[in-house]
């Protein structure tokens, strides 16, 4: 076999590997997330819910593309150090290149929210929910934005939807208690 022929085969193999890592994984990852969400909805206590929540978020965070996963990681790393500009740039690049990847939109919403840009954050959360209607963290985010802009009824409704998807969420339960009187018209 000639060197040229082996080189061609190596090049084709490398190209197929790169393409394979760039194509989003759907079937198995979606099935895994759906199963985990079902288990999460049936969680009997907060510890089990937290464990399942981490697994769901991990499953949602797998785009099927190494480069998209890297942008997601860099965006989250920037959020961790509150570098809103860098986080926004990473997540915008991610949503530009993988517009059907809900976690990219959710990350962008987090970056906008941390920068107190609530309008763009809400837009990104709506995109997240369009792509993944079961995204309990996006519902939590919608509740938080409505609460911050003094829309208690809408905040309460969003939190209730989040709690239905992800039970035993202490923060959401506290938020609902805080908003209950105003949102439900209860007078003391």
- Asked if the structure places residue 95 within a domain, the reply is yes
State how many domains the chain has. 1
Distance between CA atoms of 136 and 118, rounded to whole angstroms? 18
- Asked if the structure places residue 33 within a domain, the reply is no
Q: How far apart are the first and last CA of the chain?
A: 87
- Asked if the structure places residue 96 within a domain, the reply is yes
- Asked if the structure places residue 4 within a domain, the reply is no
Contact present, 29 and 62 (Cβ < 8 Å) = yes
Q: How does pLDDT run across 29-46, given as a tens digit for each residue?
A: 567 778 887 888 888 888
Contact present, 13 and 21 (Cβ < 8 Å) = no
Q: How does pLDDT run across 71-84, given as a tens digit for each residue?
A: 999 999 999 999 99
State which residues form the domain around 85: 64-117
Report H helices in the chain: 3-22, 27-41, 46-60, 66-80, 84-97, 102-114, 118-131, 136-148, 152-165, 170-184
- Asked if the structure places residue 24 within a domain, the reply is no
- Asked if the structure places residue 74 within a domain, the reply is yes
Can you give the pTM of this predicted structure?
A: 0.79
Contact present, 71 and 90 (Cβ < 8 Å) = yes
pLDDT of residue 24: 46
């Amino acid at each position: 076999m000639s060197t040229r022929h082996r080189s061609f085969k190596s090049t084709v193999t490398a190209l197929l590997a790169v393409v394979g890592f760039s194509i989003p994984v759907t079937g198995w990852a979606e099935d895994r997330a759906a199963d985990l969400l079902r288990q999460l909805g049936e969680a009997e206590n907060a510890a089990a819910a937290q464990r399942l929540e981490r697994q769901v978020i991990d499953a949602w965070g797998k785009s099927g593309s190494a480069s998209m996963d890297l942008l997601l990681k860099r965006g989250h790393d920037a959020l961790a150090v509150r570098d809103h500009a860098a986080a926004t740039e990473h997540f915008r690049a991610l949503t530009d290149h993988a517009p059907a990847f809900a976690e990219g939109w959710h990350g962008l919403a987090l970056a906008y929210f941390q920068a107190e840009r609530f309008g763009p954050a809400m837009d990104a959360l709506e995109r997240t929910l369009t792509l993944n209607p079961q995204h309990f963290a996006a519902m939590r985010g919608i509740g938080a934005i409505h609460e911050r802009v003094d829309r208690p009824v809408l905040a309460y409704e969003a939190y209730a939807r989040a709690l239905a998807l992800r039970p035993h969420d202490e923060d959401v339960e506290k938020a609902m208690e805080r908003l209950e009187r105003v949102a439900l018209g209860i007078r003391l």
